[in-house]
Amino acid sequence: MTLVRDSLTAQLEAFFLSPEPGQHSTTLRTVLVAAHPDDETIGAGGLLSRRKNFKVVHATDGSPLNPSDALAAGCSTRESYAEIRRKEAVDALASVGIGEDAITNLHFTDQRASFHLRELSELLQALVERLRPEIVLTHAYEGGHPDHDTVAFACHMAQRICRPEARFQLCEFTGYHAGNGGMEVYRFLPDEAHEQYIYRLSAEERELKISMITKFTTQGRTLQPFSAPEVERFRVAPNYDFMRPPHEGKLWYENFNWGVDGMAWRKMASQTLREIFHP
């Protein structure tokens, strides 16, 4: 692993903040793990346009069991809607030079990933041991969506259980979470203990990211809050206690019927931890 501890901060600063490919940024093998097709664009579209050596992994196919989203997109089946979501991601990522061969979908059902915590953790372990990334970039644990929190959990588990020679630096991009008065986007929950790398998009990068977002035509209403990107924020992932809620009060996803609430999610996370570390 080329990210040695005493040079980690400098390398991450170059990776996240340099506007042009630099000495370190071009050589860091990176796997971005997103819950759904479009999360990678929301969280890191600008970064993806500036850096090479990216692989993108989508944990779910973006198609819930509830048929309402598929029907609204003019699809008669969940599977046909998932295929549209896949093609949207391929189209968006192609605009920043990421080919279809660099995109993997693990095919869990949208809104159901939390019922497969151990399986997803072990799949990601196998993936990082095969790809040997130096950075894994993923969601923060913030209660925005149960699939987001599930992917964050699974990436932390993969980091802990992978073989020593496959160890990587785990970092995060922003998504959304409950805030004062509604959903807060493009910001992490407050955490003064963990430094953020804040990159202000140039006019060209901003237009490119907006263009990428518009490729997700089935998600037009959902992605409206993200339609005016100005900055991208990243950080080294905190050492979360997944047995505790990410913040006080109601989680954002508890406003919706997405198959699980925070208490049930944490119960499944606790059970998975016992299965992995105390079988």
For residue range 238-263, list pLDDT tens digits in order. 999 999 999 999 999 999 999 999 99
**pLDDT of 186-232, one tens digit each?**
999 999 889 999 999 999 999 999 999 999 999 999 999 999 999 99
Q: Which domains does the chain have, with CATH numbers?
A: 5-273 (3.40.50.10320)
What's the pTM value of the predicted model, to 2 decimals? 0.95
pLDDT the model gives residue 99: 97
Instruction: Give residues with Cβ within 8 angstroms of 71, minimum separation 6.
Output: none
**pLDDT of 36-57, one tens digit each?**
999 999 999 999 999 988 999 9
pLDDT the model gives residue 2: 47
